[in-house]
Amino acid sequence: MSWEKVKLNDICSSIYDGDHNAPPKSDTGVPFVTISNIDAADGSIDFSNTAHVPNSYFESLKPERRPRPGDVLYSVVGSFGIPSLVKDQKPFVFQRHVAILRPNDRIEPEYLYYSMKSRNFYHWADSVAIGAAQRTVTLGQLREKTIALPPLPAQQRIAGVLSAYDKLIENNRRQIKLLEEAAQRLYKEWFVDLHFPGHETTPIHNGIPEGWERTTVGKICELIRDSSRPDDRNESTMYIGLEHMPKNSICLNMYGDVSSVTGSKLNFRKNDILFGKIRPYFHKVGFAQCNGVTSTDTLVMRAKPNCFGLLLEIVSSDAYVAYATATSKTGTKMPRADWNAMSAYELLEPSARVLAQFDGFVKQITDEIMNLSDQIVAAREARDRLLPKLISGEIEV
């Protein structure tokens, strides 16, 4: 099968990067997206923890620098090689480390996105990136890069096959988010508003329901310091580094290649809770879905019997993350969460009956999250196996 080879510059009406001037900050306005807000696996953009710029700044940018549906973003500095397809009208701006490609009528936007997501495209970027401290793919290199361009109907068919997997992934991610929110609402209802089962007939003494007691995070879990040496690990060992942990989600379904990991790590078990202690304000907290090893920059917490649900909802809450941030130790480069302070965080421990009920409800939620997560992993693997074969024409759709 012979497909035309074209330069990106010939199939895009513009290829720019973000504004090189430092944007003005604002408490509200238009989200300011950095590379860290773009999901490396699925290309989705997380707007939940971005800075903002004034609307007037957004309006002052050249139209080519204002994203619109069908544009493709591509990280070009540092963590280069991450594409993202803009899918909606939500206004946002991005840092200069991100390029924006606007496809013309010769190419389907989704086909361009998947071409840039292929392993061959990443290997090309890796081979041409310049610099040492922060390797960079220049806009000139990007404009001259060639890709295979099948006829538009073939582009549409290829994009349709691959996007079906991404739609399943996105749908499952939305369901996971709803489940996470349901667990947090249940925690607030039972432990903040004190509307737990049987609250109507439970006496309150000094603001505490009868049978409940004040305790601390350190009393309902154990901090695991089980060290793992390289010789202890095999190819099947799952590795979770801080780079694999999502922000603001308890679902940990990204893993790294353990063969590339050196030095001492920490062992964790299924249902242990991992808390990223470097820059805790990044809100990287979740429960392990299998056994494995993690970075020593992660705190591994193991809940005591019937305390998994309570521990998970507390340490993944905005309030606890804010507390961990406020009490963190300031190092030479970045703050680190302090376990001594974190373990002293006060909470209400309910009666054994209520504790077991809450634990059961949360475990039902996390079991469903794991089921959806397994489907996401399977869909990613299937998509990533198909992608290079479809983009190269090895498989005809």
| pLDDT the model gives residue 1 | 60
The DSSP bridge pattern shows strands 239-240 and 292-294 to be parallel
User: Using CA atoms, how far apart are residues 224 and 45, in angstroms rounded to an integer?
Assistant: 33
Q: Is 248 left (phi over 0), alpha (psi -120 to 50) or beta?
A: left
| pLDDT the model gives residue 358 | 98
Residues 6+ apart with CB under 8 A from 6: 106, 146, 147, 149
Residues 6+ apart with CB under 8 A from 374: 253
Residues 6+ apart with CB under 8 A from 157: 397
Tally of CB atoms within 10 A around 262 = 7
Residues 6+ apart with CB under 8 A from 41: 254, 380
Q: What is the DSSP string of 178-213?
A: HHHHHHHHHHIIIIIS---TTGGGS-EETTEETT-E
Sort 74 into a burial class: Cβ within 10 Å, 0-12 / 13-18 / 19+: buried
Q: What is the DSSP string of 61-95?
A: S-GGGS--TT-EEEE-BSS---EEE--S----EE-
| pLDDT the model gives residue 169 | 94
Residue identified by tokens 């920490």 is 266
| pLDDT the model gives residue 332 | 57
Question: Interior CA angle at 275 toward 272 and 276, to 5°?
Answer: 140
Q: From first to last of its 397 residues, what are the pLDDT tens digits of the chain?
A: 689 999 999 999 999 998 888 889 898 999 999 998 898 888 889 887 789 999 999 999 999 999 999 999 999 999 899 999 999 899 999 988 999 999 999 999 999 999 999 999 999 999 999 988 889 999 999 999 999 999 999 999 999 999 999 999 999 999 999 999 999 999 999 999 999 999 999 999 988 999 999 999 999 999 999 998 888 788 788 999 998 998 899 999 888 888 878 888 999 999 999 999 999 999 999 999 999 999 999 999 999 999 999 999 999 999 999 999 999 988 657 899 999 999 999 999 999 999 999 999 999 999 999 999 999 999 999 999 999 999 988 888 7
* Amino acid identity, position 280: P
Question: Residue-wise over 329-345: b if at least 16 C-beta within 10 A, else e?
Answer: eeeeeebbbebeebbeb
Contact call for residues 350 and 191 (beta carbons, < 8 A): yes
pTM of the complete model: 0.87
Contact call for residues 102 and 13 (beta carbons, < 8 A): yes
H helices, E strands: number in the chain: 10, 23
Contact call for residues 335 and 167 (beta carbons, < 8 A): no
What is the 3-class SS of 96-125, one letter each residue?
CCEEEEEECCCCCHHHHHHHHHCHHHHHHH
